[in-house]
Structures are given as structure tokens and as C-alpha cells.
Amino acid sequence: MSQSPFQKFTAKKKNSVIKEEYRQEKKKVRAEKNAYFDKLKEEKYQAMLAKRAARAGGAAKAVTGAAVVAASATKAATNNTPKTKVGPPLLTTDVAMPLNKFLAHCGVTSRREAVELVTKGLVKVNGAIATEPGYKVQPTDEVIYNSKKLFVTKNLVYILLNKPKDYITTTDDPQGRKTVLQLIQKATTERVYPIGRLDRNTSGVLLLTNDGDLTQKLSHPSYQVKKIYEVKLDKNLTKADFDKIINGLTLEDGPVVVDSLAYADSKDKSIIGIEIHSGRNRIVRRIFEHLGYDVKGLDRVM
């Protein structure tokens, strides 16, 4: 029997399952990062050896047979020495890294939001205000944000939060409203930031991390990450409006198409399940408001 379209909304995944999925994604990203920097270190080491050999020049041609034997013995002894795997260094910019990517790896914010920080003149490089998000940060550069020198984060942290209503998804708020960071302030000493945004009156799943690579994969539109919400309306959603949403609507900022739509409860057609990959501001609320409905409750379940 095929799966009912209602099951994805009525049989929500357990938090343990969601956490395991994020844990596996984290392991994959960490493995890719380690492999990348191991390769960089190996290439740098080989380049250093080649440079030394070039400097030696003609002296290398005068090596005696005994010296060759000694060198071979040394090489054999070196190959038999157990290798110690070294993790990524604290400052992993052995090669130039774009400034917005550097800020993300330092746990400041996501790459996209880092662009805004730079264009606003809030970041300094070597004492001067940086204005180009694509500036290539060199290993010797000193990057300052919020009066603090930044280093690429070594300890990655992942916090899965069931966000309640009345908290805003930001690191700080000039108006003094409650933020999601207040809910996890005792969970870690690392600087973490939320992936994506849930507005003040929306509850549900929210991931906070200092992993810039994972943030890029989960938040950038090119990755087409889907989200599932349960929506409580002020009245039943009619079949005509249901079909309008399925066929696509045109809002004030352009067309929008949902990936899936279903009545979460066959007896209460004011409770709707919606799956969508668009990350536009308040997109779910605006879909229903466009058709004359008032969203009484919005909960992200995945």
C-alpha cells in the first residue's frame, strides 16, 4: 500500500532521528574538511622538499655512494615510524580564503550574512576596514570583528533546538527582545549562530552551530533544502484554495510553488501540512495570507 500523503505530517520524526541525521552530516563534512587540509599540508611539504632540492643544486651531484646508502637507510627508518594524524590547525588558512568564508569558519555568522557585515564596514583586516567580502585572507592577516581577533574555529558544536514562540532568531537584538541564544547560553562556550530563521511567532526545529560548511549547505538556495511546517489557520482551507497553492501563487515578490501540501487532520481542514524549499521571508504565512487566511499557529517539524 502506498504511503498516505498525510503521514509525513501526522507521523513526525522523533528528535533522536533528526539528531542522528545531523550527526551523520556533521561527520561527513568533518571528514571532507580534514581530507582537504591534509592534502594541502602534503602539497606544502612536497613543495618545501622540492625547493630545498633546487637550492642544493650541484651539491647534490657530489653525493658519494656511502651517502646514498645512508640516505636510503634514513628513509626506510622514517617509513617505519608510526604516523600521528594531526587534525586541522587552529588557523586553517594555509591558503587564501575569502573573507566572508573566513568569518563563517570563525563562527561569527553564515557566509551570506558575513557579506553584509563586511559591506557595512564592521570588519577590519590588518587595522583597516574591509569592504570586499571576497578579499582573500592570508595566513598572516589579522582579522578583527567586534573588537576581537578572529581564529578559525577548531571545536565544532551542533545544537538542535525546539524553538518556542516569542523568541527571535538572531544573535542579539537592539530592542531587547528575547533571542534564541538565551535559550542555549549554558549549552556551550563556543560562539554559535542559527541556521536559517524562524520568525518570532513561529515555533519548531532550529539548528545552531559554528560549522560554516554545514551552514552553507543547509541555508544556501542552491542546495534546495526542503522544510516541513504544520500550519493552524483561522478557518478551514477550501478545496479551491488548496488547488491554487498546489498550482503556484504569485506574491508581491514573485511566484512561489510548494513541494507538497496536505490536510494534516482529515476531520479538521484548518490544520495543514506544507513542504517547501523556498527560504524567502515569512513565505509560509504570506502564502495563506494572500488567500485571506489568518495563520494562528506555525510550527516547523523538519
Q: Which one from 199, 234, 253, 259 is the annotated catalytic residue?
A: 199
Cell of 259: 513541494
Contact between 273 and 8 (Cβ < 8 Å): yes
Looking at residue 142, what DSSP letter applies?
-
Contact between 219 and 112 (Cβ < 8 Å): yes
219 CB-near residues (< 8 Å, 6+ apart)? 110, 112, 195, 196, 225, 279
Looking at residue 106, what DSSP letter applies?
T
Looking at residue 4, what DSSP letter applies?
P
Crossing angle of helices 15-56 and 212-219, rounded to 10°: 120
C-alpha gyration radius of the chain: 26
The sign of the dihedral angle between the CA atoms of 200, 204, 210, 212 is negative
Distance from chain centroid for Cα 38: 22
List the beta bridge partners of residue 230: 273, 299
Our answer to whether residue 268 is catalytic in this structure is no
**Start-to-end CA span in the chain (Å):** 25
Cell of 242: 488548496
Which residues are tagged catalytic?
Answer: 199
